[in-house]
Chain A
Amino acid sequence: MTDRINPVEKLERIMEQLAESVLELSDEALLAEITESGSDPQQEAELTRSLLRHAAGPQEVGQRLSNVSETTDSHYCRTSKGLSR
């Protein structure tokens, strides 16, 4: 029953552990992984720095999200037949 009750929490745990595993990597291992994944570490780092420097405020992020995506009321889902509860 536990397996079925907490999928959200389970998913959160997986992603949390995944994120925390990044912190356990040595600098060399981190650079090697990024290179292995086909990215240029230096370029990626500078891009991140640039993003940090020109960070948009949370309100702007929220506005962008609301513009980008169609929101579905969580009480409803859209089907080919229209909204149904």
Chain B
Amino acid sequence: MHQSHSQPSEALRFVHELLRRTNENSTGAAELLEQDAQLWGELKRFLERIPAPADQAPPCEEVDIPTPTEQERLRKELEHHLKHTFDNSTPDQKTHLREALENFLALFETPKQPPPETLAAAKLPRSDSIVPIIPNDAHDLKSDSSCAAGTIVPAPSQPAFPRWSVLPMVPPTPMTGRNNSALVIEYNKSLSKMFTAFLKSDHYLVRTAYQSDDALRLYRDCGPFEVVLIDYDMQKSIEIALDILKQDPTQPMIIIATHYQSEDEVPRRKELMNVPFLLDMSHLRKALANLQPRATREEVDRAITALTTTELLRLKRYGDGRVSSSHGTDYRTGQDLLQEAKCLTVEGHRCWKKRVTFFTHLMGVMRSITRRRKDDNALLACDTFKDDADGQEYCLFDNVTASDRNKFFGYVSSEYDAAADQRLIATEKMNRIFVQFMDDPETLLVLQGWSEGMTKNEIMQRGLSENQYRAAVKRIRMKLLTPTNVGGGGEKHDRQD
């Protein structure tokens, strides 16, 4: 007799590995499960009768992928279990079972190969007419008192097993380029592992909790998550949900209540009215997508393609303007800024909420990036060394001591202030800009007004008409944002020492 019965929980691990492969790799698996949902239901019910040892399922764990050697051993164990079921079935049941199990096991051995053409023949009889039988020698499988050894067990009258197969098998690439995080709160270890496998295949880093205390502790320590899945049937499920929402009211959450036919049947508290209740597991991926309206990488690529000529030009010019005063290690061109905005979006640091256009999103990110950076960047030699009118190199700080600088800028403290250098450089840049418009009083008026934070109307009240103001602004743009002048007041930053 096989020793495999002494470790039935490993058979469970095998099936979860199978499920993982199914979700990840195999179109054939998708079709098989779609056509053979009943088979999967039978297997699930069979396997649910195999109790997992306590030490096999710690309160919080992630699914470990068995090594190839372990997988082979587990495959043999499960094969034994299933064949035993087969041996105790009626002739008709045997016919169907044989085909179904052969296909099922063949699928595991070659998960990426196309499904057999005879899949249709692999369908099982109705689940109420064929049931798994616990082997007589499977002593450790008898923990369920309703499952007397060697007897036929009526199929439980539970809803059909979720049709995982109807879910799309190619998950979208996560925007972050890294795993999202999910917390699965599910008391049923088998279901918990299936949720885990599904979420992992969808690029989630999954944490699991089987009890309310563990769930709350995990959430407190590791939250927030991209999504929290809670089984409605779990004890204190509603209290857990409310407690999590109390900690973070914005926490995306899905409550799974597959035993209900409609949402109206599910008793729920008013605090949970905005939380989606999932009644059909085939809608899990859609529910996840609805929770996270952030764009996928593919959508960003499409949005870039869809940007119009003027949008692209505006983005570039806007970026040039935003960084034209940058210097030191913070120096960048408008192109750098634009690229950084895109990268931050793709990496998930800046979420593109699709209710705004991609153009508007990029504008906002560029604005945000440049506002965030102030005086905390180190200086570069090219910022401090300049040429005088005779072409002689000099340092802005040559004849200025720290105390002089502090005095110049009005610092009370005699301590050196690093920002003083930044201010000196800014003053020099400002001077260079103003010098370019020495013969243009209208433009100087606009620049002066801008530097003082005045609005367009306030500047115009100083004696400029609308047209004069527009023309002056255009002249500033043409001088400071033309390709040869971008980079800080009409000077290029390509200088190297």
Contact = CB atoms under 8 A, between A and B. Distances in A.
Interface in A23-37: 23, 25, 27, 30-31, 33-34, 36-37
Contact of B312 (A1, A48, A68, A70): A48
Contacts of B374: 8
A10 B410 contact: no
A15 B477 CA distance: 10
Interface in B368-409: 374-375, 378-385, 395-398, 402, 408-409
Contacts of A21: 321, 473, 476-477
Contacts of B206: none
A7 B426 contact: yes
Nearest to B418: A74
Contacts of B317: 19, 22, 30, 34
B478 interface: yes
A14 B481 CA distance: 12
Interface stretch (B67-75, B85-93, B207-215, B327-335): B327-335
Interface residues of B, number: 82
Contacts of A77: 379, 384, 395-398, 421
A4 B405 CA distance: 11
A19 B321 contact: yes
Contacts of B409: 4-5
Interface stretch (B96-104, B132-140, B160-168, B336-344): B336-344
A39 B374 CA distance: 32
A57 B347 contact: yes
A78 B312 contact: no
Interface in B205-234: none
Interface string A41-77: 1101110110111011110010001101111111101
The residue in A11, A36, A41 that gathers the most chain B C-beta atoms within 10 A of its C-beta is A11
A7 B421 CA distance: 11
B313 A30 contact: yes
A52 B375 contact: no
A66 B381 CA distance: 13
Nearest to A12: B325
B200 interface: no
A15 B395 CA distance: 25
A82 B316 CA distance: 40
B145 interface: no
Interface of B: 301, 304-305, 307, 309-310, 312-325, 328-329, 331-332, 335-336, 338-340, 342-344, 346-347, 363, 374-375, 378-385, 395-398, 402, 408-410, 416, 418-419, 421-424, 426-427, 429-430, 433, 447, 450-453, 473-474, 476-478, 480-483, 489, 496-497
Given A7-B424, A48-B335, 5 more contacts: A5-B410, A10-B430, A14-B433, A58-B344, A70-B381
Which 8 A-B residue pairs are closest in the complex by CB-CB distance?
A: A19-B321, A55-B339, A10-B451, A45-B312, A7-B426, A77-B397, A17-B450, A45-B309
30 contacts: A7-B423, A7-B427, A7-B430, A8-B374, A10-B430, A14-B325, A18-B321, A18-B477, A19-B317, A19-B318, A19-B320, A31-B310, A33-B477, A34-B317, A37-B482, A42-B309, A46-B312, A49-B304, A49-B307, A52-B307, A55-B346, A56-B343, A65-B329, A65-B332, A70-B380, A71-B380, A72-B384, A73-B379, A78-B381, A78-B395
